Structure 1
């Protein structure tokens, strides 16, 4: 009996990809904040690519069981920025953008390996099509790239959802005028309940997270098509 959100045969690839994705995401937040003059994350040892500093064990377990989870959030003291709102937007945005960059680079590498016959496999809408029988090593590499691209696009889109404590909410909070920010702050205590409603009520899930999965496929195919055009 499998109680996980992923099958046992792909679990190692999912774990590796999540560790990479969470680590780079949180490092991007910490590094940007440090460069903008906030030493909070640096003093806590978060300006590092060491996964142990960023991966949250409970959040990792939950994403494997339920399909969603979290890493350890990077503490940011916006008052240390010379331009708190502008720099706050950048610090919030670089996390999701780092995941999008990983997905793009992964798609380019996959396209190059396919074009030069190293993998002998193509990918359409996240499905692998083998042009010839692959060795176990080749198949492992192919599966790794599938999940590297998919999971990082998922994290990019998921973190842009405008609900606290996600990055999308922090970006809107910094962009919005004061009266809107005050109204947004009033819903913060209820954000977890709103999120659970979105996840577990089918009509809401279909029109939010369901659409997000369509966008994942579209973005993934866009990157792969671009890679195919570059590498032939």
Structure 2
């Protein structure tokens, strides 16, 4: 098995990741119980920490799939430890996504881990490696929305429910953006192995600018409205209504104007 080539230390969970998970748990508890004097601050820390956890799992999924597909160099790079500081593009993978969440409430796709593709044989394996990351966001979104579509919200405090709704929105936006067949994004990585060599060679120079192009297009009002209408439609299908989604985003931005409608029980 390919995992036999990795040392146990290469697969040991990083204390950094454990610390992030601990922050998620503590702030989640504070959001649920109302322990903090400012529920918005607790929700902000909870959602941000949980978002970083999802980013780590996203990159881990790429790395783990690559390992089982033949790239035995993955372990030595530290990707299997879930340590966000070990990623080749820590700025793209962690810092920028968090900044975009804080500024605009959108799930920015992270930068991929460095995979030695020459070690991997078979187009399906290459496609699966690229798809593994955004599929993790899909799974994360399903977990966040499960209480909504299962009708298991009895007894769940409003702040925690709103925080889950906003976290689900981030996961869905990240999954959709990542699956776009744009050079530089995972969606293009899924279809790239099936393209001709000439097409791949012509597209390759544009890969570093793919994500920037996507966000430039999203600044077009009509495109932005259509994109978020699709996001809200998906959230509605998963049991999250407009009020829960709106109040979640409002609660997260605790430094702004607080809408009184979101601070009372419905």
- TM above 0.5, yes or no, is yes
Q: CA deviation at 1:28?
A: 0.7
Q: What RMSD, in angstroms, separates the aligned Cα atoms of the two structures?
A: 2.8
Q: 1:198 maps to which residue? A: 217
More helix by share: 2
2:52 pairs with 1:15 = no
Gap change, CA 1:34 and 1:67, over 3 Å in 2: same
Unmatched runs of 5 consecutive residues or more in structure 1: 1-6, 120-137, 226-232
Q: Do the aligned partners of residues 159 and 142 (structure 1) sit closer, same or farther apart at CA in structure 2, a change above 3 Å counting?
A: same
How many residues are aligned here? 195
Gap change, CA 1:21 and 1:223, over 3 Å in 2? same
Matches within 5 A, 1:143-182: 143-182=162-201
Does the Cα contact within 8 Å between 1:40 and 1:75 map onto a contact in 2?
no
Q: Hey, what does 2:20 align to over in structure 1?
A: none
Q: 2:78 aligns with which of 42, 45, 48?
A: 45
Contact kept in structure 2, 1:36 and 1:87, CA below 8 Å: yes
1:67-104 CA-to-partner distances (Å, cap 9, x unmatched) read 55454531111111121x22111000011111111111
The corresponding residue for 1:103 is: 141
How far 1:9 moved relative to its partner?
A: 7.1
User: In the alignment, what sits opposite 1:93?
Assistant: 131
Matched, 1:221 2:236: yes
In 2 relative to 1, CA 193–116 (structure 1 residues): closer, same or farther, beyond 3 Å? closer
- Structure 1 match to 2:155: 118
Structure-2 separation of matches of 1:102 and 1:189: 27
Pair 1:82 & 2:121 matched: yes
Q: Does 1:140 align with 2:159?
A: yes
CA distance in 2, matches of 1:192, 1:103: 22
- Could you tell me how far apart the structure 2 residues matched to 1:73 and 1:104 are? 22
Find 1:212's aligned residue among 215, 222, 227: 227
Provide the C-alpha distance between the structure 2 equivalents of 1:59 and 1:109, rounded to a whole number of angstroms.
26
Distance 1:31 1:223, change over 3 A: same
Matched, 1:64 2:102: yes
Unaligned runs of 5+ in 2: 1-39, 88-92, 241-266
User: Residues of 1 paired with 2:153 and 2:217: CA distance?
Assistant: 43
The answer to whether the Cα contact below 8 Å between 1:38 and 1:78 also exists between their aligned partners in 2 is yes
Alpha-carbon spacing, 1:101–1:192, altered in 2? closer, same or farther (3 Å): closer
* Offset from partner CA, 1:35-83 (integer Å, 9 cap, x none): 1111233211111334554553354234423555454531111111121
Q: CA deviation at 1:117?
A: 2.0
Q: Residues 36 and 212 (structure 1 numbering): CA distance in 2 closer, same or farther, change over 3 Å? A: same
Cα 1:192/1:109, change in 2 over 3 Å: closer
